[in-house]
Amino acid sequence: MAKFSEQMQSIFDRYTEEVDSGPVSLDDVATWAISEGLFKPQPRDVVKICREALAESLRQEKRVDSNGRRYRAKHSVRTNIGGVQLSLWADIDTAPRSFMEKSFSQRRKAIADDCFQIKQDVDHFNEVNPTELPLLVVLDFTDDVAEMEAAGRVGRDEDGEAA
């Protein structure tokens, strides 16, 4: 997998060197890479395509509870069974508590990992741009969540529409 990622990173780097070094749409990079013969996808397993489509759809399924809270219906847990990494899925309304604890813990860790990475990125940017005002990033989301609750985001979708 790392080799594939490195190949994709190399394509992006080559695009920025040969075509445009500014911010760019990945659609443009992909179109260019295919036209240049730099990307030749391997035949994909139909089961893998279906699995990825299922996962994306399950992540998007929302419900509204009797208190008007919009909540995610399906959750996953990454686990290793017999040396194989799998994602197991369950419905929040029927899943065992232990499954949901592990799911929430893994999601929280993913958020913490993202926060750590953005801090690394901001610190690097600030260091290589010492003449500019430093960018700041607040990693405490308590106020953000409270504002969302106060604004009545309960029972609303991403666009603020009633669910």
pLDDT digits (tens, 9 = 90+) for 64-112: 999 999 999 999 999 999 999 999 999 999 999 999 999 999 999 999 9
pTM above 0.85, yes or no: no
Q: What percent of the chain has pLDDT over 70?
A: 92
Query: Which candidate, 149, 124, 148, places its Cα nearest to that of 135?
Result: 124
Specify the pLDDT at position 118: 98
Cβ atoms of residues 76 and 61 within 8 Å? no
Task: Characterize 84-97 residue by residue with b for buried, 16 or more Cβ atoms within 10 angstroms of its Cβ, and e for exposed.
Answer: eeeeebbebeebee
Higher pLDDT, 39 or 101: 101
Question: What would the two tokens of residue 91 be?
Answer: 């419905």
d(CA 56, CA 49): 11
- 26: helix, coil or strand? helix
Instruction: Give, for 120, the enclosing helix (H) or strand (E).
Output: helix 97-128
Cβ atoms of residues 119 and 137 within 8 Å? yes
